[in-house]
Structure 1
Amino acid sequence: MADMPTLLDAYFTRIGLTMPVESTLDALRDIVAGHNRSIPFENLDPVTGIPVVDLSAEALADKLLGRRRGGYCYEQNGLLGYVLDDLGFGVQRLVGRVIWMHDDDTLPAQTHQVLSVTLPDGDGPYLVDVGFGGQTLSSPIRLAPGQVQQTRHEPYRLLDHPEGFELQARVGGVWESLYLLDPIPRPRIDLEVGSWYVSTYPESVFVRGLTAALVTDDARWNLRGRRLAVHRAGGSEKTRLGSAADVLEVLEGRFGINLADLGDRAELEARVGRVLDS
């Protein structure tokens, strides 16, 4: 594991917070909010042919903190898991099947990672997920079915399901299913296999299309290819970006992604141009 003071100092600098004195539920809520607004969801590595396999604390801290990039669920929740471990929370890594916008009856693979978090005083567990893109949880919720739980944004709920739990969010007045959650903890090797798969499989949505997201205090910013959407409580705004160059400007300016980390700008623009309408 990365050196604890270095990891924690770099992480809290990145999310713009002071390290909490005590590891409480309020501190956990603040950490999730700071992470949401500071570290973007993005899949530029798979889009540019870079496999995401190493989920060690050192690798994730280097990319998301040192190089000021974002990442997807294995990276986002992976990094946060190491931070919460070091702060004294109890952390287990769980996986789920994404059914959000899944429009057929085929069974999706278990390729989403989340965290089950228990407070040092034993309270919990809480479901923590900072890696579900534009519809990610903006607050911890109790990992228990049957109750509607308000986050900083929409209400969520967990339902009993044969695989464990089904997570739903109330979006536009309708309960939408997001993923099926398996409550059995997984070791890092299983997570690295899943990350390798979604970052290299030719038909993976992360290989075939560009996605970025950021959850601010009052909005959800979603980018899919050239389509930029901003969802607020009062409504949504949608913009169709004209070119790959425009997309790169938004990735840098709005999402705060360090694109210099990805090498030659012209080559990056060409690769992004091939997935603008995927």
Structure 2
Amino acid sequence: MLADTDLVDLGRYLRRIGLDDATEPGRPASPRPTFETLSALVTAHVRAISFEGLDPYVGIPVADLAPQALQHKMIDRRRGGFCFEQNGLLAAVLESIGYDVVPLAGRVVWMRDPGPMPAETHKLLNVGIPGESSRYIVDVGFGGCTPPNPLRFALDEPQPTDLEEFRIVAVDPTGNHPLDPEVAGQLSMQVRIGDEWRPMYLFTPVPRPPIDSLVGSWFASTYPGSRFVAGATAAIVTESSRLNLAGPQLTEHHRDGRTAKTTLGSVGEILAVLDDRFGIDVDDCPGLAGRLAESLLNG
């Protein structure tokens, strides 16, 4: 019987993210589990496979997180996915190469007002490199603020990336999102926006079994109040910017601090942007045009 990692075609994945040409610097043909390979994979992945929640938006639950299903959707069908899909696919790829991958779960607090502790609806990865003591947080599925590079799993250490700075800190129990008394050692992933460190999600180093991802994915893709069910969302990283779509609003945040916003005026414009700028095969998402038209009419 094949292991899950045997169901991922590494060659097709590398072609999908543009790392199949070994003649170019930083592009591994037969990847070895080194930091350089990990960095190249993460950077290429976030630039090639869009974060998107279009299936939940049109009423299709994300219920199959098996590696072969994720490969079929994000590699063969030229689609993206949200955190359970993105980090699920990458976990299978990294394990097939020889990394030690530990799935973790997070509680998203990005852009949230103080209040009750949110559910664990985010998946991220704790990755180890053979022969090295250091470990890395890898997260290619946070959407608008996805870290574009691996981050050392170290506390209180601002880490520059291709775009913003990130850091991991222990949760302050007196802060906006108090420490969950049932979970010790809760941590906060933060991103620096201007001069301000903003929390993205809370997490712990406790490994999570596959069933937790299935429950979180089902909730995030079916709960009426989920942002994926309520609106069309997509995000992708470029060499020097982040491109985010929320309904008809297209926003590009540049590394130098500039922000450009465009309001798309028709379903056709939104579909064209999803295809041209985000690389998403919109024909693969049945009912998308009709759902967008309904949202624009009611919005």
TM tier, smaller = over 0.9
Of 216, 222, 234, which residue of structure 1 is paired with 2:244?
222
Aligned CA distance change for structure 1 residues 92 and 70 (closer, same or farther; 3 Å): same
Rounded Cα–Cα distance in structure 2 between residues aligned with 1:274 and 1:95:
34
State whether residues 5 and 93 of structure 2, in contact with CA within 8 Å, keep that contact through their aligned partners in structure 1. no
Q: CA deviation at 1:233?
A: 2.0
Q: Does 1:261 align with 2:284?
A: yes
| CA offsets 1:120-179 (integer angstroms, 9 cap, x no match) | 113321000000001100111111211111111111111012452101111122111101
TM (norm. structure 2) is: 0.88
Structure 2 spans left out of the alignment, 5+ residues: 21-28, 172-178, 180-184
**Counterpart of 1:12?**
14
Give the drift of 1:273: 2.6
Cα distance 1:21–1:59, how it changes in 2: closer, same or farther (>3 A)? closer
In the other structure, the counterpart of 2:187 is: 165
Q: Which amino acid aligns with 1:219?
A: S
Amino acid at match of 2:230: R
Label 1:6 to 1:133 Cα distance change in 2 as closer, same or farther (>3 A).
closer
CA contact (8 A) 2:8 2:68 kept: no
| Partners of 2:31 and 2:97 within 8 A in 1 | no
Q: Output aligned runs, 1:146-185, within 5 Å.
A: 146-161=156-171, 162=179, 163-185=185-207
Secondary structure, aligned partner of 2:9: helix
Cα distance in 1 for residues equivalent to 2:8 and 2:259: 40
Is the Cα–Cα contact under 8 Å of residues 158 and 166 in structure 1 kept in the other structure? yes
Aligned residues: 275
Aligned to 1:138: 148
The 3 A distance-change label for structure 1 pair 6 and 232 is same
Contact 1:149/1:156 (8 A) holds in 2: yes
Task: Note if contact 1:210-1:275 (Cα within 8 Å) is conserved in structure 2.
Answer: no
SS in 2 for 1:108: coil
Q: What's the CA shift for 1:6? A: 5.5
Matches within 5 A, 1:240-259: 240-259=263-282
User: 2: CA distance between counterparts of 1:193 and 1:167?
Assistant: 22
**TM-score, normalised by the number of residues in structure 1:** 0.94
Please say if 1:57 is aligned against 2:80. Answer: no
1:233 is aligned to 255
CA distance in 1, matches of 2:260, 2:200: 22
Larger radius of gyration: 2
**Residues 200-254 of structure 1: per-residue CA shift (max 9 Å, x gap):** 0111111001110001111100001111011112311110110222111100111
- 123, 129, 139: which one aligns with 2:133: 123
Q: Provide the C-alpha distance between the structure 1 equivalents of 2:76 and 2:238, rounded to a whole number of angstroms.
A: 22
